[in-house]
Amino acid sequence: MPLIKLNRINKGGEIVLSSEHILFIEVESKTTTIHMTDGLLFSVEEPLNSIAESIEALETARIKNAIQQSGLTGKGAP
């Protein structure tokens, strides 16, 4: 459940969202809108690519950390 920090357009200021609640993201007229569960909508300053890269980096780090902590890192592998 990575949390991502974004900057809201309409109300200004930062918002932290759980990536698990994002349904989809759309871009219209240079405005990025995040559609979330329970009908929530947020317009943010960040472009779509930036948001996608942030979520991907957080998920990758989470999986890497889980593998390292499980002891499955290739410690005796050739």
Answering whether pTM is above 0.85, one says no
Residues ≥6 apart with Cβ < 8 Å to 51? 4, 6, 25, 32, 34, 44
What Rg do the C-alpha atoms of the chain give, in angstroms?
Answer: 16
**Mean pLDDT in residue range 15-21:** 91
Query: Chain-wide mean pLDDT for the chain?
Result: 87
Residue 12: left (phi > 0), alpha (psi -120 to 50), or beta? left
Judged against a pLDDT cut of 50, whether residue 78 lies above it is answered with no
